[in-house]
Amino acid sequence: MKFFIDTANLQQIKEAQDLGVLDGVTTNPSLMAKEGITGEQNVIDHYKAICDIVDGDVSAEVISTDFDNIIKEGEALAKLHDRIVVKVPMIKEGVKAIKYFSSNGIKTNCTLVFSSGQALLAAKAGATYVSPFLGRLDDISTDGLALIEDIRLIYDNYGYETQILAASIRHVMHIVECAKIGADVMTGPLSAILGLLKHPLTDNGLAQFLADHAKAAGK
Ligand code: E4P
């Protein structure tokens, strides 16, 4: 399972990269705004800075919603760095753009996916990644994990190569359940990734080992 971090915060990206388990980064316009990154040149520079930190795919989202401008924007983003994946929303013009990008060797991440029908369409258009937002489905009392299961079944039925990128991950159990289902990738906050480390028996066990060692050494 690939681990992506879902942030535009350079410090957090570095921390995850330093841990040695990071496979990529996803961003979106809200995450960029959260870091105070505004203005075309600053956004471009920030994407380049992210690409310089991480060994893996970096999703950069278009903000256009019509075919011509999605293509123009996506091609410009793709030229920034060979790690850039163009993130395109699941709308009619977006699906057309994904088909265009996949036919022209540009990697895509189809975002804002909330149903298995949308995921089927993204795969048919040739998306590199599809991003079902499981946390946001959970937020409205819908089973986000069931959607990941359905997409896995559909993609396996037909051998679609589009990778399931479980997005809107909120906590450790989301990651573990997605791994059990067979999501190809998960993208989540640093807190969820670091949360995987935690178990009280690990902490207690280590404290005991260190105390016993110190006692035996007469410290
Ligand atoms: C996916 O690529 C999105 O950036 C993200 O996972 C959305 O998560 P949120 O629902 O926590 O905003």
* Residue 83, pLDDT score: 96
Q: Pocket of ligand 1, candidates 187, 190, 191, 193: which has the most ligand atoms within 8 Å of its Cβ, to mutate?
A: 187
Centre of ligand 1 from the C-alpha of residue 59, in Å: 12
* Residue 202, pLDDT score: 98
Which among 98, 97, 84 has a CA at the least distance from the CA of 76? 84
210: Cα within 13 Å, side-chain hemisphere? 6
* Residue 219, pLDDT score: 76
Nearest atom of ligand 1 to the alpha carbon of 189:
11
127 lines ligand 1 (CB under 6 A): no
- What does the CA dihedral 134, 121, 103, 76 come to, rounded to 10 degrees? -40
Residue 137, helix vs strand vs coil: helix
Residue nearest to atom 7 of ligand 1 (CA): 168
pLDDT along the chain (219 residues), means of 10: 98 97 97 96 97 96 98 98 97 98 98 98 98 97 98 98 98 98 98 97 98 93
